[in-house]
Amino acid sequence: MNPFIELGIRHDIVNAISELGFENPTPIQEQSIPVLLTGSNDFVGLAQTGTGKTAAFGLPLLELLDFEENHPQALVLCPTRELCLQITNDIKNYSKKMHNVNVVAVYGGASIMDQLRQIKRGVQIVVATPGRMLDIINRKAIDFSRVKYVVLDEADEMLNMGFQEDIDNILSTTPDDKKTWLFSATMPAEVRRIAKKYMDNPFELTMGEKNTGNANIEHEYYIVRARDKYAAFKRIVDFNPDIFGIVFCRTKIETQDIAEALIKDGYNADSLHGDLSQQQRDKVMKRYRERSLQLLIATDVAARGIDVNDVTHVINYSLPDEVENYTHRSGRTARAGKTGVSISIVNAKELGKIRQIERVIGKKFSKAEIPTGFDVCEKQLFSIVHKVHNVTVNEEQIEQYLPRIIEEFKDFTKEDFIKRFASIEFNRFLDYYKNAPDLNAGVEEGRSRDRDDRAPRGASSGPSAYTRLFINLGSVDEFNRGDLLGYICNTSKISGRSVGKIDVKGVYSFFEVPNEDVEKVNAGFAGAEYKGRPVRIEVSGEGTSDRRESSGGYRGGDRREGGYRGGERREGGGYRGGDRRDGGNNRGGERREGGGGGFRDFSGKPREERPERRRRY
Ligand code: AMP
């Protein structure tokens, strides 16, 4: 018998979840479904994200509610819009073979009128973020007087985000005899308090040790000097060619800087933070979900509720300010029974924080060594070999070219051919890493570092004199930073690597170049026109900057010239090989075209991020 039937789930739901690939219940489902199906308990489930908790409460709700009645009977509160949509979607999928099931998602940042209309039409399950829910309650547009079940999902996150008061107000509109089911990844005192406040002798279920992270996650840390952090990070990424990761930074600025530096250096990355408009966030998330992006650089707040399976690595570029956030971050990997690695790049002074996290999650970190340049080259080589071995050949398309290709290689032995083929990519890595230093902290000071492993803006890197230039083109000419970088490099023939901060305004923009390149830029733009208008470059009155704003980086050019990542981008979102045409300067521009990453205009509406109360180290 299907194990879900044994748990008490009816056939039409089991048929639907079988189509989703649910063959066996996850541990939390196995243990909570029988309890929740009784409908007579309050419930506290201590479980990480990715353990299958949505079905753990969603399936019992579908069993318990009366879908002949069309009024709100269950309310699920969760911290973020992403999670809200995810839960709504999941419940719709579980119930797709049932009749008259109406689920509505209520969340901020979308039309309230649509949501009100859906509520008016009749709904049994409301899945909501607290702010918007309260708004709708205050408009007297919903009647919760017959709610039987309230689910508080990711309760710790909701409290972290300052939703305590909203939750109180929302729950005060529901009947006293409803049952409350609370799920939380961690159990800080605040969550204990709300459990006590809203629940009557709840059934408690702890999956694994209290506060322990998912058992399938390996925790690693690398010790590097602060100034080598970015280079070390890139090396870790290069050592993991198939990485599909989320990189956590502490601030929006750091998030954006790291993403920009990575994009400049040819990585398939983009950022997710609270200054992006909802539309921009959705776009980034869509690309990440579709795997057009390989690295998502995010703040804690922005990454809440991200539910993407198959994330291979979580990288803590900076450790979180609050210990609890580490659990949330690392819980983004190893979902649905998969394994994953949570990496922290720290300096020697931060070791104390690692020990503190170990105590909270009840698990030991292993200390890892930043791979040497040789290690990276070897890993990349075999990754190429593996890809060549496994590539799907389009027989029909390639056939017409085969005679010419065979003719070209007629004098090659098989070995010659293999060596050359593998070397196309391998040489780039060899060149890049040939003088790569040991980046593990503890190596003798004063040893020369790889000149091109420069840190991005914000990280400490050697000052270098820059001049800020004015240009009479801006967003009204439909330039964003990527376009402008491409345009500047093409016109002045300077390397994208040397361009520092770019500030796109309406009818004009500013950009920084090394002092020694100012002449070259002036010469390049002499007589230049843009759409029939003379282009004017002037040294900005704001003077020079000695801050090294640009990430530098060596890889962009290399990858552009046919790197396999470029190939991936092509698949992911229309990377047009056209950039190879331009001889190597138009870095930002070409990445913009690629499905993977690109400079963006980050001037979206600031998203409200709530004040947070957390435990600090
Ligand atoms: P959740 O913790 O609810 O976000 O679930 C994490 C992932 O596991 C989601 O992609 C679910 O679709 C998947 N999942 C949940 N339950 C099962 C199950 N019993 N079998 C297979 N996959 C599952």
Indicate whether this model's pTM tops 0.75: no
Last residue of one domain, picked from the residues 432, 459, 481: 432
User: Is the same domain home to 302 and 404?
Assistant: no
User: Is the same domain home to 418 and 454?
Assistant: no
Q: Is the CB of 305 under 6 A from ligand 1?
A: no
Query: Domain for residue 614, yes or no?
Result: no
**Which residue in this structure is represented by tokens 């040497």?**
372
Nearest ligand 1 atom, CA 56? 3
pLDDT on residue 581:
28
Nearest ligand 1 atom, CA 90? 12
The alpha carbon of residue 567 and the mean position of all alpha carbons in its chain are separated, in whole angstroms, by: 21
**Helix, strand, coil % over all residues of the chain, rounded to 5:** 45, 15, 40
User: Is the same domain home to 67 and 177?
Assistant: yes
- Domain span holding position 420: 374-432
User: If you ran DSSP here, which 8-state letter would residue 442 be given?
Assistant: T
Q: Find the CATH number of the domain harbouring 581.
A: 3.30.70.330
Q: Is the CB of 543 under 6 A from ligand 1?
A: no
User: Is the same domain home to 264 and 312?
Assistant: yes
Query: Domain for residue 212, yes or no?
Result: no
The C-alpha atoms of residue 593 and residue 521 are separated, in whole angstroms, by 24
Query: Domain for residue 563, yes or no?
Result: yes
Could you read off the pLDDT of 340-370 as tens digits, one per residue? 899 999 998 898 899 989 988 888 899 999 9
Last residue of one domain, picked from the residues 165, 186, 206: 206
User: If you ran DSSP here, which 8-state letter would residue 589 be given?
Assistant: H
Task: Give the strand pairing for 203-206 and 43-46.
Answer: parallel
Please count the structural domains in the chain: 4
User: Is the same domain home to 231 and 346?
Assistant: yes
Q: Is the CB of 21 under 6 A from ligand 1?
A: yes
Residues of the chain with pLDDT under 50: 209-212, 443-464, 542-615
- Mutating to test ligand 1, I would choose from 24, 26, 80 the residue with most ligand atoms within 8 A of its C-beta, which is 26
User: Is the same domain home to 40 and 163?
Assistant: yes
Nearest ligand 1 atom, CA 336? 8
Query: Domain for residue 616, yes or no?
Result: no
Last residue of one domain, picked from the residues 206, 240, 265: 206
Tell me the torsion sign for CA atoms 273, 278, 280, 281. positive
Report how far ligand 1's centroid is from the alpha carbon of 388 (Å).
33
Q: Do the Cβ atoms of 286 and 257 come closer than 8 Å? A: no
pLDDT on residue 35:
94
Structure tokens at 262: 């990575």
Could you read off the pLDDT of 460-502 as tens digits, one per residue? 333 347 888 989 898 878 888 888 988 998 899 888 888 888 8
For ligand 1, atom 21, the nearest C-alpha belongs to: 22
Query: Domain for residue 45, yes or no?
Result: yes
pLDDT on residue 548:
30
User: Is the same domain home to 368 and 389?
Assistant: no
User: Is the same domain home to 34 and 93?
Assistant: yes
Q: Is the CB of 332 under 6 A from ligand 1?
A: no
User: Is the same domain home to 258 and 199?
Assistant: no
For ligand 1, atom 16, the nearest C-alpha belongs to: 52
Query: Domain for residue 437, yes or no?
Result: no
Report how far ligand 1's centroid is from the alpha carbon of 105 (Å).
20
